[in-house]
Amino acid sequence: MTRLSDLPNGHPAVIAAVDGSVVELTELGFVPGAHIKPTYAGLGGDPRVYELDGALVALRCAAARHISVSLPDSQEGD
């Protein structure tokens, strides 16, 4: 399992789990099963912009650490 904050730009993934202590993330659509891809980052790398099921959402790295993602089989081990 990989943390969303560690996913390189342009690499798609599927949200596997969200830390239950961060309810705001699930309200924004960060829910298990959602497709997500980091697209670009602000100066210094934070915040990052993610494509989340077709929408663009900016999220700080501190919040992205609470989200676990699974990679498509073709990216496992990259």
pLDDT in tens, 20-48: 777 888 888 999 999 999 999 988 889 99
- 3-class DSSP string for 32-48: CCCEEEEEEECHHHCCE
Q: Residue 74: its pLDDT value, please?
A: 56
Give domain 2-72's CATH architecture: Roll (2.30)
Q: What does pTM read for this prediction?
A: 0.86
Q: What tokens appear for 64 in the block? A: 């992205």
What is the C-alpha separation between 78 and 64, in angstroms, rounded?
20
In degrees, rounded to 5, the angle at the alpha carbon of residue 50 between the alpha carbons of residues 14 and 39 is 105
Token duo for residue 60: 């700080």
- Domain limits of the chain? 2-72
Percentage of the chain exceeding pLDDT 70: 94
Average predicted confidence (pLDDT) for the chain: 89
Burial classification of residue 24, based on how many CB atoms lie within 10 Å of its CB (0-12 exposed, 13-18 middle, 19 or more buried):
exposed
